[in-house]
Structure 1
Amino acid sequence: MTASLPADVSDVLAAVLNAEGPLHAALREQVPHLSVRERCTCGCGTAYFELDTSKVAPAPTGPGTVVAAEAQLVTEAGECPGEVLVFTQNGYLSWLEVCSWSEDIEVTLGAALRWLGTRS
């Protein structure tokens, strides 16, 4: 966990950015330099970041806003209530979004982490 980030944000970023390759490696290098600028007020856990770009190099995502990592959420019952998206702007981590596709299942970062942990 990164001390400057709330545990739910840090843990979900770690789970979603765990793939091998230069993109995820570069994004993982940025995480220690992140702080949360703002959170969504609905309770989902979406977080908007501040990043000191002088401390890290941009990830190889290309220009503009890009979904650099994503994970579909699957419950223990096999339902797909949403996904987690990691956005970059010009190669730098910008925000972590929790998307809900269901009105019946509450999708939060805490729930996302649990469901990400049960993926095979």
Structure 2
Amino acid sequence: MAEQLSPEATATLRALLTGSDPVSNALLAQIPHTRVVRRCGCGCVTVDLEVDRTAAAPAPPHDNPAVNAWYGAPHSAGVMVGTEGGYLSFLEIYSVSDEPITAWPDPASSNTEQVRARTSSTFRAAKTRTGTAESGGVSCPAGVAEASSDG
């Protein structure tokens, strides 16, 4: 069963999608129409997303992930925003830690480096069908579990 985005996931998406370019604008406009459909099975905060396509337009063509950011604190972690067909499809966190990251990094953190995949060829990441993301040897080893309404 689908559930609403948490305030922390919403804040993370908004922070990562800042910009005045057409892709960021379109993806930002999708956030109010986005629901969580699956959660990662490892216990991290990674979520698969689904947008009500009757309520929001797709983003123009772009590379995927649409955004990748690296947070140095409180965890060394990467966060990616992925899309499918121009619509938000996942918000993924990954790190080199053996422990799952159970909270989104503070979007206001001054220790954030963003790499927008559509403008940089130095970083590429891929999301597999099992819900894992791999980049530079780091990944979330679990697949994604169905979202539940009990939180």
**Paired residues for 1:7-86 under 5 Å:** 7-62=7-62, 66-75=64-73, 81-86=76-81
- The percent identity for this pair of structures is 34
Higher helix fraction: Structure 1 or Structure 2? 1
Q: Structure 1 residue 19: deviation in Å?
A: 2.4
Q: Secondary structure at the match of 1:66?
A: coil
What TM-score, normalized by structure 2, do the two folds share? 0.63
Counterpart residue type for residue 53 of structure 1 = R
Alpha-carbon distance in 2 for matches of 1:27, 1:10: 12
Q: Secondary structure at the match of 1:48?
A: strand
Gaps of 5+ in 2: 113-151
Is the 8 Å Cα contact of residues 81 and 107 (structure 1) preserved in structure 2? no
What TM-score, normalized by structure 1, do the two folds share? 0.77
Q: Structure 1 residue 9: deviation in Å?
A: 1.2
Alpha-carbon distance in 1 for matches of 2:96, 2:61: 26
Q: In the TM superposition, what whole-angstrom CA distance separates every residue of 1:45-81 from its partner, at most 9, and x where no partner exists?
A: 001112111111110135xx820111111126xxx72
Alpha-carbon distance in 1 for matches of 2:101, 2:61: 27
The number of residue pairs the alignment matches comes to 110
Provide the residue aligned with 1:118 in structure 2. Answer: 110
Alpha-carbon distance in 1 for matches of 2:89, 2:23: 15
Q: Structure 1 residue 106: deviation in Å?
A: 5.6
* Deviation >3 Å, runs of 4+: 105-109
Counterpart residue type for residue 70 of structure 2 = Q
User: In angstroms, what is the RMSD of aligned CA positions?
Assistant: 2.4
Gaps of 5+ in 1: none
